[in-house]
Structure 1
Amino acid sequence: MTEPSTPSAPHAPAPPAADVLGVLEDLRAESAVLDGLLTGLPAEGWTRSTPAEGWTIAHQIAHLAWTDDWTALAARDAEGFDAALGARFAELVAAGADPVEEGAREGAAAEPVVLLARWRAGREAAREALSAAPADVRLPWFGPPMKPASMATARLMETWAHGQDVADALGVTREPTARLRHIAHLGLRTLGFAFTVHGLPAPERPVRLELTAPDGGTWALGPAGAQDLVTGPALDFCLLVTRRRHRDDLALTATGPVATAWLPIAQAFAGAPGKERPPRA
Protein backbone atom coordinates (compact mmCIF):
# COMPACT_ATOMS: atom_id res chain seq x y z
CA MET A 1 0.00 0.00 0.00
CA THR A 2 1.06 3.61 -0.52
CA GLU A 3 -0.11 4.67 2.93
CA PRO A 4 -1.02 2.87 6.13
CA SER A 5 -4.57 1.73 6.61
CA THR A 6 -4.79 1.29 10.33
CA PRO A 7 -7.98 0.48 12.19
CA SER A 8 -8.11 3.46 14.47
CA ALA A 9 -7.32 7.09 14.92
CA PRO A 10 -5.11 8.08 17.85
CA HIS A 11 -6.81 10.16 20.51
CA ALA A 12 -9.97 10.54 18.42
CA PRO A 13 -12.28 13.33 19.60
CA ALA A 14 -15.01 12.23 21.96
CA PRO A 15 -18.28 14.10 21.37
CA PRO A 16 -20.63 14.49 24.32
CA ALA A 17 -22.46 11.30 25.25
CA ALA A 18 -25.68 12.62 23.74
CA ASP A 19 -23.93 12.84 20.36
CA VAL A 20 -22.81 9.22 20.19
CA LEU A 21 -25.96 8.09 18.43
CA GLY A 22 -25.65 11.01 16.03
CA VAL A 23 -22.14 9.94 15.04
CA LEU A 24 -23.37 6.39 14.56
CA GLU A 25 -26.20 7.59 12.33
CA ASP A 26 -23.70 9.52 10.24
CA LEU A 27 -21.58 6.38 10.08
CA ARG A 28 -24.61 4.45 8.86
CA ALA A 29 -25.23 7.06 6.16
CA GLU A 30 -21.59 7.04 5.06
CA SER A 31 -21.63 3.25 4.86
CA ALA A 32 -24.77 3.39 2.72
CA VAL A 33 -23.03 5.65 0.20
CA LEU A 34 -20.20 3.16 -0.19
CA ASP A 35 -22.65 0.27 -0.28
CA GLY A 36 -24.36 1.96 -3.19
CA LEU A 37 -21.12 1.91 -5.17
CA LEU A 38 -20.80 -1.82 -4.59
CA THR A 39 -24.38 -2.93 -5.20
CA GLY A 40 -24.57 -4.52 -8.61
CA LEU A 41 -20.81 -4.37 -9.15
CA PRO A 42 -19.85 -7.46 -11.15
CA ALA A 43 -17.36 -9.91 -9.67
CA GLU A 44 -14.57 -8.70 -11.93
CA GLY A 45 -15.12 -5.17 -10.65
CA TRP A 46 -14.09 -6.23 -7.15
CA THR A 47 -10.63 -7.09 -8.49
CA ARG A 48 -10.10 -3.59 -9.83
CA SER A 49 -7.00 -1.89 -8.39
CA THR A 50 -7.48 1.12 -6.11
CA PRO A 51 -5.02 3.97 -5.48
CA ALA A 52 -3.72 2.05 -2.44
CA GLU A 53 -0.85 0.04 -3.88
CA GLY A 54 -1.57 -3.69 -3.92
CA TRP A 55 -5.17 -3.29 -2.77
CA THR A 56 -8.21 -4.03 -4.90
CA ILE A 57 -11.76 -2.95 -4.14
CA ALA A 58 -12.18 -6.30 -2.38
CA HIS A 59 -9.21 -5.51 -0.12
CA GLN A 60 -10.75 -2.17 0.82
CA ILE A 61 -14.06 -3.72 1.87
CA ALA A 62 -12.36 -6.65 3.57
CA HIS A 63 -10.36 -4.21 5.68
CA LEU A 64 -13.51 -2.38 6.75
CA ALA A 65 -15.22 -5.67 7.58
CA TRP A 66 -12.18 -6.86 9.54
CA THR A 67 -12.09 -3.67 11.58
CA ASP A 68 -15.84 -3.74 12.21
CA ASP A 69 -15.50 -7.26 13.60
CA TRP A 70 -12.82 -6.11 16.04
CA THR A 71 -14.90 -3.04 16.93
CA ALA A 72 -17.94 -5.12 17.86
CA LEU A 73 -15.81 -7.44 19.97
CA ALA A 74 -14.13 -4.54 21.79
CA ALA A 75 -17.49 -2.96 22.60
CA ARG A 76 -19.11 -6.18 23.78
CA ASP A 77 -16.32 -8.12 25.46
CA ALA A 78 -13.18 -6.27 26.51
CA GLU A 79 -11.53 -9.35 27.96
CA GLY A 80 -12.37 -11.38 24.87
CA PHE A 81 -10.89 -8.65 22.69
CA ASP A 82 -7.64 -8.64 24.63
CA ALA A 83 -7.38 -12.42 24.50
CA ALA A 84 -8.15 -12.63 20.78
CA LEU A 85 -5.81 -9.74 20.00
CA GLY A 86 -2.94 -11.31 21.88
CA ALA A 87 -3.38 -14.71 20.29
CA ARG A 88 -3.99 -13.54 16.73
CA PHE A 89 -1.34 -10.86 16.58
CA ALA A 90 1.28 -13.07 18.22
CA GLU A 91 0.63 -15.69 15.58
CA LEU A 92 0.89 -13.25 12.69
CA VAL A 93 3.92 -11.41 14.02
CA ALA A 94 5.69 -14.74 14.56
CA ALA A 95 5.00 -15.56 10.93
CA GLY A 96 6.36 -12.21 9.81
CA ALA A 97 2.93 -11.01 8.61
CA ASP A 98 1.34 -7.60 9.05
CA PRO A 99 -2.00 -8.07 10.85
CA VAL A 100 -3.82 -5.34 8.93
CA GLU A 101 -2.57 -6.52 5.55
CA GLU A 102 -3.32 -10.13 6.42
CA GLY A 103 -6.85 -9.29 7.49
CA ALA A 104 -7.48 -7.57 4.17
CA ARG A 105 -5.88 -10.38 2.18
CA GLU A 106 -7.90 -13.10 3.87
CA GLY A 107 -11.16 -11.22 3.49
CA ALA A 108 -10.54 -10.31 -0.14
CA ALA A 109 -10.21 -14.01 -1.01
CA ALA A 110 -13.95 -14.53 -0.41
CA GLU A 111 -16.53 -14.34 -3.16
CA PRO A 112 -17.77 -10.76 -3.58
CA VAL A 113 -21.32 -11.63 -2.53
CA VAL A 114 -19.99 -13.25 0.64
CA LEU A 115 -17.66 -10.34 1.41
CA LEU A 116 -20.39 -7.77 0.86
CA ALA A 117 -22.75 -9.68 3.16
CA ARG A 118 -20.02 -9.92 5.80
CA TRP A 119 -19.35 -6.19 5.69
CA ARG A 120 -23.06 -5.35 5.90
CA ALA A 121 -23.59 -7.63 8.90
CA GLY A 122 -20.37 -6.59 10.60
CA ARG A 123 -20.92 -2.86 10.34
CA GLU A 124 -24.41 -3.23 11.81
CA ALA A 125 -23.06 -5.39 14.62
CA ALA A 126 -20.41 -2.76 15.36
CA ARG A 127 -22.99 0.02 15.33
CA GLU A 128 -25.26 -1.86 17.73
CA ALA A 129 -22.38 -2.72 20.04
CA LEU A 130 -21.13 0.87 20.18
CA SER A 131 -24.61 2.25 20.79
CA ALA A 132 -25.09 -0.14 23.70
CA ALA A 133 -21.69 0.43 25.31
CA PRO A 134 -21.47 2.80 28.30
CA ALA A 135 -20.59 6.22 26.89
CA ASP A 136 -17.86 6.97 29.44
CA VAL A 137 -16.08 3.60 29.35
CA ARG A 138 -12.89 3.35 27.33
CA LEU A 139 -12.91 0.36 25.03
CA PRO A 140 -9.76 -1.64 24.31
CA TRP A 141 -8.17 -1.10 20.93
CA PHE A 142 -4.97 -1.60 18.95
CA GLY A 143 -3.66 1.73 20.19
CA PRO A 144 -4.91 3.79 23.13
CA PRO A 145 -8.35 2.74 24.46
CA MET A 146 -11.22 4.84 23.10
CA LYS A 147 -14.69 5.79 24.25
CA PRO A 148 -17.58 4.65 22.01
CA ALA A 149 -18.00 8.11 20.44
CA SER A 150 -14.31 8.23 19.58
CA MET A 151 -14.42 4.76 18.07
CA ALA A 152 -17.51 5.66 16.04
CA THR A 153 -15.74 8.75 14.73
CA ALA A 154 -12.73 6.68 13.74
CA ARG A 155 -15.00 4.19 11.95
CA LEU A 156 -16.65 7.01 10.01
CA MET A 157 -13.27 8.41 9.01
CA GLU A 158 -12.07 5.04 7.75
CA THR A 159 -15.32 4.27 5.94
CA TRP A 160 -15.13 7.58 4.12
CA ALA A 161 -11.42 7.25 3.35
CA HIS A 162 -11.59 3.70 2.02
CA GLY A 163 -14.78 4.65 0.21
CA GLN A 164 -12.75 7.35 -1.53
CA ASP A 165 -10.34 4.71 -2.78
CA VAL A 166 -13.25 2.67 -4.12
CA ALA A 167 -14.80 5.72 -5.75
CA ASP A 168 -11.47 6.59 -7.38
CA ALA A 169 -11.11 3.05 -8.68
CA LEU A 170 -14.57 3.24 -10.22
CA GLY A 171 -14.12 6.76 -11.58
CA VAL A 172 -16.97 8.07 -9.42
CA THR A 173 -17.18 11.48 -7.78
CA ARG A 174 -18.98 11.49 -4.43
CA GLU A 175 -20.86 14.53 -3.21
CA PRO A 176 -19.33 15.94 -0.01
CA THR A 177 -21.66 16.17 2.97
CA ALA A 178 -21.80 17.67 6.44
CA ARG A 179 -20.44 14.35 7.74
CA LEU A 180 -17.00 15.59 6.77
CA ARG A 181 -17.04 17.75 9.90
CA HIS A 182 -16.31 14.64 11.99
CA ILE A 183 -13.21 13.95 9.91
CA ALA A 184 -12.06 17.56 10.00
CA HIS A 185 -12.41 17.58 13.78
CA LEU A 186 -10.44 14.36 14.01
CA GLY A 187 -7.77 15.72 11.70
CA LEU A 188 -7.23 18.72 13.95
CA ARG A 189 -7.21 16.66 17.13
CA THR A 190 -4.45 14.44 15.72
CA LEU A 191 -2.14 17.36 14.88
CA GLY A 192 0.34 16.53 17.64
CA PHE A 193 0.40 12.86 16.68
CA ALA A 194 1.28 13.74 13.08
CA PHE A 195 4.42 15.52 14.25
CA THR A 196 5.31 12.76 16.71
CA VAL A 197 5.02 9.97 14.16
CA HIS A 198 7.48 11.87 11.96
CA GLY A 199 9.96 12.12 14.84
CA LEU A 200 9.23 15.80 15.45
CA PRO A 201 8.26 17.46 18.73
CA ALA A 202 4.55 18.18 19.07
CA PRO A 203 4.00 21.92 18.60
CA GLU A 204 2.87 24.00 21.55
CA ARG A 205 1.10 26.60 19.41
CA PRO A 206 -2.49 25.76 18.42
CA VAL A 207 -3.85 25.78 14.89
CA ARG A 208 -7.26 27.02 13.83
CA LEU A 209 -9.24 25.67 10.89
CA GLU A 210 -11.58 27.85 8.86
CA LEU A 211 -12.97 25.50 6.26
CA THR A 212 -15.62 26.00 3.59
CA ALA A 213 -18.36 23.48 4.29
CA PRO A 214 -20.17 21.61 1.51
CA ASP A 215 -23.19 23.92 1.92
CA GLY A 216 -21.04 27.03 1.49
CA GLY A 217 -20.88 27.91 5.18
CA THR A 218 -17.75 28.02 7.32
CA TRP A 219 -16.56 25.48 9.86
CA ALA A 220 -14.34 27.14 12.45
CA LEU A 221 -12.41 24.66 14.59
CA GLY A 222 -9.69 25.55 17.06
CA PRO A 223 -9.10 28.66 19.18
CA ALA A 224 -10.12 31.97 17.63
CA GLY A 225 -6.90 33.64 18.71
CA ALA A 226 -4.57 31.10 17.11
CA GLN A 227 -1.82 32.68 15.02
CA ASP A 228 -1.57 29.56 12.87
CA LEU A 229 -4.45 29.07 10.44
CA VAL A 230 -5.52 26.61 7.74
CA THR A 231 -8.18 27.67 5.25
CA GLY A 232 -9.77 26.03 2.25
CA PRO A 233 -12.50 23.54 1.32
CA ALA A 234 -13.45 21.06 4.04
CA LEU A 235 -13.35 18.29 1.43
CA ASP A 236 -9.75 19.09 0.59
CA PHE A 237 -8.73 19.09 4.25
CA CYS A 238 -10.37 15.69 4.77
CA LEU A 239 -8.64 14.29 1.70
CA LEU A 240 -5.36 15.58 3.12
CA VAL A 241 -5.65 14.18 6.65
CA THR A 242 -6.74 10.78 5.33
CA ARG A 243 -3.81 10.99 2.89
CA ARG A 244 -6.02 10.36 -0.12
CA ARG A 245 -4.57 13.30 -2.06
CA HIS A 246 -1.18 14.98 -2.29
CA ARG A 247 -0.85 18.40 -0.70
CA ASP A 248 -0.14 19.98 -4.09
CA ASP A 249 -3.53 18.85 -5.45
CA LEU A 250 -5.53 20.62 -2.76
CA ALA A 251 -6.71 24.22 -2.36
CA LEU A 252 -5.52 24.63 1.20
CA THR A 253 -3.67 27.63 2.56
CA ALA A 254 -1.50 27.55 5.68
CA THR A 255 -0.58 30.65 7.66
CA GLY A 256 2.05 30.43 10.39
CA PRO A 257 5.01 28.09 10.91
CA VAL A 258 3.10 25.30 12.69
CA ALA A 259 0.30 25.17 10.11
CA THR A 260 2.82 25.29 7.27
CA ALA A 261 4.85 22.41 8.72
CA TRP A 262 1.75 20.40 9.58
CA LEU A 263 -0.07 20.17 6.26
CA PRO A 264 2.52 18.01 4.45
CA ILE A 265 2.52 15.46 7.30
CA ALA A 266 -1.08 15.63 8.55
CA GLN A 267 -2.87 12.32 9.12
CA ALA A 268 -5.99 11.35 11.05
CA PHE A 269 -5.18 7.67 11.44
CA ALA A 270 -2.80 5.76 13.67
CA GLY A 271 0.35 4.06 12.49
CA ALA A 272 3.36 5.04 10.44
CA PRO A 273 2.76 7.62 7.69
CA GLY A 274 3.85 5.32 4.88
CA LYS A 275 4.62 6.39 1.32
CA GLU A 276 2.88 9.56 0.19
CA ARG A 277 0.65 9.43 -2.87
CA PRO A 278 2.05 11.33 -5.83
CA PRO A 279 0.48 14.53 -7.16
CA ARG A 280 -2.28 13.91 -9.66
CA ALA A 281 -1.51 16.90 -11.89
Structure 2
Amino acid sequence: MTPGNDENKELQEEELLAVCAIYGDSILQKDEHDSTDDQSVYLLTLNVDQDDPDTKSPRIMVLRLFLPSTYPSTDMPVFEIASLYCGHRKVDTTMTLAIQQGFEALFQTGQVVLFEWIQWLRDYIEDTVDLAAIDVAPVITPPSQEDKQVNDITTAAIDTTMPSESLPSIFSSEPLVDRKSTFVAHVASVDSANQVDQVRRALLANKKIAKATHNITAYRINLPGDRILQDNDDDGETAAGGRLMHLLQILNVKNVVVVVSRWYGGIQLGADRFKDINNCARKALEDCGYVETATTKKKGKKKL
Protein backbone atom coordinates (compact mmCIF):
# COMPACT_ATOMS: atom_id res chain seq x y z
CA MET A 1 0.00 0.00 0.00
CA THR A 2 1.44 3.38 -1.01
CA PRO A 3 1.84 5.77 1.95
CA GLY A 4 -0.40 8.84 1.92
CA ASN A 5 0.71 12.41 2.44
CA ASP A 6 0.31 12.17 6.22
CA GLU A 7 2.60 9.15 6.43
CA ASN A 8 5.11 10.81 4.10
CA LYS A 9 5.12 13.87 6.34
CA GLU A 10 5.75 11.71 9.40
CA LEU A 11 8.64 9.92 7.68
CA GLN A 12 10.11 13.27 6.63
CA GLU A 13 9.91 14.64 10.17
CA GLU A 14 11.59 11.55 11.62
CA GLU A 15 14.32 11.75 9.00
CA LEU A 16 15.00 15.45 9.62
CA LEU A 17 15.24 14.85 13.37
CA ALA A 18 17.68 11.98 12.83
CA VAL A 19 19.89 13.99 10.46
CA CYS A 20 20.06 16.95 12.87
CA ALA A 21 20.77 14.63 15.80
CA ILE A 22 23.79 13.23 13.96
CA TYR A 23 25.19 16.34 12.26
CA GLY A 24 23.82 19.15 14.44
CA ASP A 25 20.93 21.52 13.87
CA SER A 26 23.00 23.84 11.66
CA ILE A 27 23.19 21.37 8.77
CA LEU A 28 19.47 21.76 7.93
CA GLN A 29 17.56 25.02 8.22
CA LYS A 30 13.98 25.36 7.03
CA ASP A 31 13.33 28.23 4.64
CA GLU A 32 10.21 29.67 6.23
CA HIS A 33 9.80 32.16 3.39
CA ASP A 34 9.81 29.61 0.57
CA SER A 35 7.36 26.73 0.97
CA THR A 36 4.04 25.64 -0.40
CA ASP A 37 1.28 23.30 0.68
CA ASP A 38 2.87 20.51 -1.34
CA GLN A 39 6.49 20.76 -0.30
CA SER A 40 8.88 22.05 2.36
CA VAL A 41 12.08 23.85 1.51
CA TYR A 42 15.34 23.50 3.44
CA LEU A 43 18.89 24.78 3.15
CA LEU A 44 21.45 22.01 3.64
CA THR A 45 24.92 23.33 4.48
CA LEU A 46 27.69 20.70 4.43
CA ASN A 47 31.13 21.84 5.60
CA VAL A 48 33.58 19.02 4.94
CA ASP A 49 36.36 20.86 6.81
CA GLN A 50 34.43 21.98 9.88
CA ASP A 51 36.73 19.96 12.16
CA ASP A 52 39.75 21.91 10.88
CA PRO A 53 39.16 25.59 11.73
CA ASP A 54 42.59 26.54 10.32
CA THR A 55 41.52 25.67 6.77
CA LYS A 56 41.61 28.91 4.78
CA SER A 57 39.29 27.75 2.01
CA PRO A 58 36.86 25.30 3.63
CA ARG A 59 35.00 23.03 1.26
CA ILE A 60 31.39 24.05 1.86
CA MET A 61 28.43 22.97 -0.27
CA VAL A 62 25.00 24.54 0.16
CA LEU A 63 21.93 22.85 -1.35
CA ARG A 64 18.34 23.96 -1.47
CA LEU A 65 16.21 20.89 -0.79
CA PHE A 66 12.56 20.64 -1.79
CA LEU A 67 10.68 17.83 -0.03
CA PRO A 68 7.49 17.17 -1.97
CA SER A 69 4.46 15.69 -0.25
CA THR A 70 5.02 12.53 -2.33
CA TYR A 71 8.49 11.92 -0.78
CA PRO A 72 9.49 9.20 -0.06
CA SER A 73 6.52 7.13 -1.25
CA THR A 74 6.95 7.90 -4.95
CA ASP A 75 9.30 10.84 -5.54
CA MET A 76 12.76 11.76 -4.33
CA PRO A 77 13.65 15.22 -2.97
CA VAL A 78 14.37 17.92 -5.53
CA PHE A 79 17.58 19.87 -5.03
CA GLU A 80 19.51 22.76 -6.49
CA ILE A 81 23.07 23.78 -5.68
CA ALA A 82 23.18 27.24 -4.09
CA SER A 83 26.99 27.41 -3.84
CA LEU A 84 29.00 29.11 -6.56
CA TYR A 85 32.23 27.63 -5.19
CA CYS A 86 33.18 24.61 -3.07
CA GLY A 87 36.51 25.50 -1.49
CA HIS A 88 38.63 26.96 -4.28
CA ARG A 89 36.78 25.06 -7.04
CA LYS A 90 33.94 26.60 -8.99
CA VAL A 91 30.77 24.51 -9.04
CA ASP A 92 30.44 23.70 -12.74
CA THR A 93 28.16 21.58 -14.90
CA THR A 94 30.36 18.51 -14.50
CA MET A 95 30.08 18.64 -10.71
CA THR A 96 26.34 19.33 -10.81
CA LEU A 97 25.68 16.36 -13.11
CA ALA A 98 27.84 14.05 -10.99
CA ILE A 99 25.91 14.99 -7.85
CA GLN A 100 22.58 14.56 -9.67
CA GLN A 101 23.56 11.08 -10.86
CA GLY A 102 24.90 10.10 -7.46
CA PHE A 103 21.72 11.20 -5.70
CA GLU A 104 19.44 9.48 -8.20
CA ALA A 105 21.35 6.21 -7.85
CA LEU A 106 20.81 6.20 -4.08
CA PHE A 107 17.07 6.83 -4.05
CA GLN A 108 14.72 3.88 -3.64
CA THR A 109 10.96 4.37 -3.72
CA GLY A 110 9.54 4.37 -0.21
CA GLN A 111 12.93 4.88 1.51
CA VAL A 112 14.17 8.15 3.03
CA VAL A 113 17.51 9.12 1.56
CA LEU A 114 18.85 12.37 3.02
CA PHE A 115 21.42 10.70 5.29
CA GLU A 116 22.81 8.67 2.41
CA TRP A 117 22.89 11.78 0.22
CA ILE A 118 24.90 13.68 2.84
CA GLN A 119 27.36 10.81 3.29
CA TRP A 120 27.76 10.41 -0.47
CA LEU A 121 28.22 14.17 -0.98
CA ARG A 122 30.86 14.34 1.75
CA ASP A 123 32.84 11.50 0.13
CA TYR A 124 32.43 13.05 -3.32
CA ILE A 125 33.73 16.45 -2.20
CA GLU A 126 36.68 14.92 -0.34
CA ASP A 127 37.61 12.82 -3.39
CA THR A 128 37.20 15.51 -6.06
CA VAL A 129 37.86 18.89 -4.43
CA ASP A 130 41.39 19.39 -3.14
CA LEU A 131 42.19 21.84 -0.39
CA ALA A 132 43.30 25.21 -1.74
CA ALA A 133 46.97 25.60 -2.50
CA ILE A 134 47.14 28.63 -0.19
CA ASP A 135 46.33 26.49 2.84
CA VAL A 136 49.29 25.99 5.12
CA ALA A 137 50.70 22.53 4.52
CA PRO A 138 52.28 20.59 7.38
CA VAL A 139 56.04 20.09 7.34
CA ILE A 140 56.68 16.40 6.79
CA THR A 141 60.04 14.83 7.54
CA PRO A 142 60.88 12.04 5.07
CA PRO A 143 60.67 8.68 6.87
CA SER A 144 63.76 6.60 7.41
CA GLN A 145 64.14 3.23 5.76
CA GLU A 146 63.28 1.57 9.06
CA ASP A 147 60.16 3.69 9.45
CA LYS A 148 58.93 2.62 6.02
CA GLN A 149 58.67 -0.94 7.27
CA VAL A 150 56.23 0.01 10.02
CA ASN A 151 52.53 -0.68 9.45
CA ASP A 152 50.82 2.42 7.99
CA ILE A 153 47.96 2.50 10.46
CA THR A 154 50.35 2.26 13.43
CA THR A 155 52.54 5.06 12.10
CA ALA A 156 49.53 7.32 11.57
CA ALA A 157 47.98 6.63 14.92
CA ILE A 158 50.66 6.71 17.60
CA ASP A 159 52.09 9.93 18.99
CA THR A 160 55.85 9.55 19.36
CA THR A 161 55.71 11.54 22.62
CA MET A 162 53.68 8.78 24.26
CA PRO A 163 55.33 6.01 26.31
CA SER A 164 56.63 3.34 23.97
CA GLU A 165 54.13 0.52 24.31
CA SER A 166 53.60 -1.67 21.29
CA LEU A 167 50.27 -1.33 19.51
CA PRO A 168 48.18 -4.46 20.11
CA SER A 169 46.84 -6.41 17.15
CA ILE A 170 43.33 -5.29 16.24
CA PHE A 171 40.76 -7.64 14.77
CA SER A 172 37.53 -6.58 13.08
CA SER A 173 34.34 -8.62 12.85
CA GLU A 174 32.26 -9.27 9.80
CA PRO A 175 29.67 -6.49 9.30
CA LEU A 176 26.26 -6.89 10.89
CA VAL A 177 23.64 -5.06 8.79
CA ASP A 178 20.22 -4.14 10.15
CA ARG A 179 17.88 -1.96 8.06
CA LYS A 180 20.80 -0.26 6.30
CA SER A 181 22.72 0.45 9.53
CA THR A 182 26.07 -1.37 9.61
CA PHE A 183 27.85 -2.53 12.77
CA VAL A 184 31.47 -3.76 12.98
CA ALA A 185 33.19 -4.74 16.25
CA HIS A 186 36.93 -4.27 16.76
CA VAL A 187 38.70 -6.25 19.51
CA ALA A 188 42.22 -5.94 20.92
CA SER A 189 44.07 -7.37 23.92
CA VAL A 190 45.25 -4.58 26.23
CA ASP A 191 46.90 -4.35 29.64
CA SER A 192 46.95 -0.58 30.19
CA ALA A 193 44.81 2.49 29.59
CA ASN A 194 47.57 3.79 27.33
CA GLN A 195 47.13 0.80 25.04
CA VAL A 196 43.37 1.41 24.96
CA ASP A 197 44.10 4.94 23.77
CA GLN A 198 46.52 3.64 21.15
CA VAL A 199 43.94 1.19 19.83
CA ARG A 200 41.27 3.91 19.54
CA ARG A 201 43.64 6.27 17.77
CA ALA A 202 44.76 3.54 15.40
CA LEU A 203 41.17 2.75 14.51
CA LEU A 204 40.28 6.40 13.96
CA ALA A 205 43.28 6.74 11.65
CA ASN A 206 41.28 4.54 9.30
CA LYS A 207 39.22 6.93 7.15
CA LYS A 208 36.18 4.67 6.96
CA ILE A 209 36.06 4.04 10.72
CA ALA A 210 36.59 7.72 11.47
CA LYS A 211 33.48 8.48 9.39
CA ALA A 212 31.31 6.05 11.36
CA THR A 213 28.32 7.71 13.00
CA HIS A 214 29.40 6.29 16.37
CA ASN A 215 32.44 4.40 17.68
CA ILE A 216 31.26 2.95 21.01
CA THR A 217 34.01 1.77 23.37
CA ALA A 218 34.29 -0.37 26.50
CA TYR A 219 37.28 -2.01 28.15
CA ARG A 220 38.23 -4.00 31.26
CA ILE A 221 41.81 -4.49 32.51
CA ASN A 222 43.12 -6.60 35.40
CA LEU A 223 45.09 -4.67 38.04
CA PRO A 224 47.12 -5.97 41.00
CA GLY A 225 45.13 -6.83 44.07
CA ASP A 226 42.18 -8.30 42.15
CA ARG A 227 41.15 -4.83 41.02
CA ILE A 228 39.60 -4.03 37.63
CA LEU A 229 40.21 -0.90 35.58
CA GLN A 230 37.20 -0.33 33.34
CA ASP A 231 35.55 2.48 31.43
CA ASN A 232 33.30 3.13 28.44
CA ASP A 233 32.42 5.84 25.92
CA ASP A 234 29.06 6.30 24.15
CA ASP A 235 30.48 8.50 21.36
CA GLY A 236 27.08 10.12 20.95
CA GLU A 237 25.03 6.91 21.09
CA THR A 238 23.43 7.54 24.48
CA ALA A 239 23.74 4.62 26.94
CA ALA A 240 25.42 2.36 24.37
CA GLY A 241 28.82 2.44 26.12
CA GLY A 242 27.33 1.41 29.46
CA ARG A 243 25.41 -1.44 27.86
CA LEU A 244 28.56 -2.63 26.08
CA MET A 245 30.44 -2.49 29.40
CA HIS A 246 27.66 -4.54 31.04
CA LEU A 247 28.13 -7.19 28.35
CA LEU A 248 31.87 -7.41 29.13
CA GLN A 249 31.06 -7.76 32.83
CA ILE A 250 28.50 -10.52 32.23
CA LEU A 251 30.96 -12.40 30.02
CA ASN A 252 33.70 -11.75 32.62
CA VAL A 253 36.24 -10.84 29.96
CA LYS A 254 39.36 -8.95 31.01
CA ASN A 255 42.39 -7.29 29.43
CA VAL A 256 40.39 -6.44 26.33
CA VAL A 257 38.99 -3.37 24.61
CA VAL A 258 35.99 -3.52 22.28
CA VAL A 259 35.06 -0.73 19.88
CA VAL A 260 31.81 -1.09 17.92
CA SER A 261 31.52 1.16 14.85
CA ARG A 262 28.04 2.01 13.63
CA TRP A 263 27.27 3.61 10.28
CA TYR A 264 23.68 4.90 10.45
CA GLY A 265 21.62 3.90 7.42
CA GLY A 266 18.80 6.42 7.60
CA ILE A 267 16.26 4.18 9.37
CA GLN A 268 15.84 4.52 13.13
CA LEU A 269 16.29 1.19 14.91
CA GLY A 270 15.05 2.20 18.35
CA ALA A 271 16.18 -0.13 21.14
CA ASP A 272 17.23 -2.74 18.55
CA ARG A 273 20.43 -0.76 18.01
CA PHE A 274 21.67 -1.79 21.47
CA LYS A 275 20.96 -5.44 20.67
CA ASP A 276 22.89 -5.13 17.41
CA ILE A 277 25.85 -3.47 19.14
CA ASN A 278 26.06 -6.18 21.81
CA ASN A 279 25.46 -9.08 19.41
CA CYS A 280 28.20 -7.79 17.12
CA ALA A 281 30.58 -7.35 20.06
CA ARG A 282 29.82 -10.77 21.54
CA LYS A 283 30.41 -12.51 18.20
CA ALA A 284 33.77 -10.75 17.84
CA LEU A 285 34.79 -11.76 21.37
CA GLU A 286 33.80 -15.36 20.61
CA ASP A 287 35.79 -15.35 17.38
CA CYS A 288 38.82 -13.98 19.23
CA GLY A 289 38.61 -16.70 21.90
CA TYR A 290 37.49 -14.57 24.85
CA VAL A 291 34.18 -16.39 25.21
CA GLU A 292 33.90 -20.17 25.31
CA THR A 293 31.01 -21.69 23.37
CA ALA A 294 29.85 -25.25 22.93
CA THR A 295 31.01 -25.22 19.34
CA THR A 296 34.01 -22.89 19.57
CA LYS A 297 36.03 -23.01 16.41
CA LYS A 298 38.96 -20.92 15.52
CA LYS A 299 37.97 -18.84 12.53
CA GLY A 300 40.16 -16.63 10.41
CA LYS A 301 39.83 -12.98 11.46
CA LYS A 302 40.45 -9.94 9.36
CA LYS A 303 43.29 -7.83 10.62
CA LEU A 304 42.76 -4.09 10.34
Higher Rg: 2
**Greater strand proportion:** 2
**Greater helix proportion:** 1
TM-score by length of 2: 0.24
TM-score by length of 1: 0.25
The answer to which structure, 1 or 2, has the higher relative contact order (CA under 8 A, 6+ apart) is 1
